[in-house]
Homo-oligomer: A and B are copies of this chain.
């Protein structure tokens, strides 16, 4: 636990429009907490005690069904808010967040949210934009699952990961955190078997390059053609 310097976070979308003094005041109420790789930040159905901004690392957010099936909701990258269940009118977290690498987050108690937004309306406006863009993402996913064959969905999922957390390297775009074929299956509503078959075929064609929990996209343009259904 330590106070966070304003310079680390002042450019985050969440804090846009906040005066420096207001941001300092808000940061004084935050804790900075480390989450070792593999640990959970919060659990589905647990009381939504805190809200968070990820400073470093990557998280996987996943929902478990009553009959034990798991779906990846999204990955959280640095700079993003998460765990804002309480701001959305929920008393509990709708999903589990787990660190896929060693991660650090700013943590505020949920109880101060009403006071924070009453004092800093820009926070509510910024949060609304964040939640709105997640809603668009979720609807895009519903549309893809409703209308697209699985190969196109997998291509879309990889392109979104590349956009969210892609790092340009010599051979292409590296997705910058550990991601498994099982993760991709849980992001696209298909089975590990199907994802393995698709990725192996793409590897043979030189489109992507796999590895232990690593995915690199060698030919983003060709993957885009597959996603759009214009290349088989």
Contacts and interface: CB of A to CB of B under 8 A. Distances in A.
B186 A146 contact: yes
A125 B125 CA distance: 9
Contacts of A189: 142, 145-147
Interface stretch (A18-26, A49-57, A63-71, A199-207): A63-71
A132 B133 contact: no
A88 interface: yes
A71 B139 CA distance: 10
Contacts of A124: 117, 121, 124-125, 128
Contacts of A131: 88, 128, 131-132, 135
A89 interface: yes
Contacts of A134: 135
A2 interface: no
25 contacts: A63-B143, A65-B143, A67-B147, A67-B229, A73-B142, A85-B132, A88-B132, A89-B128, A89-B129, A89-B132, A94-B136, A94-B139, A114-B125, A117-B121, A117-B124, A117-B125, A124-B124, A124-B125, A127-B128, A128-B128, A131-B132, A131-B135, A142-B145, A142-B189, A145-B189
In order of increasing CB-CB distance, the 5 nearest A-B pairs are A88-B132, A138-B138, A146-B189, A124-B124, A89-B129
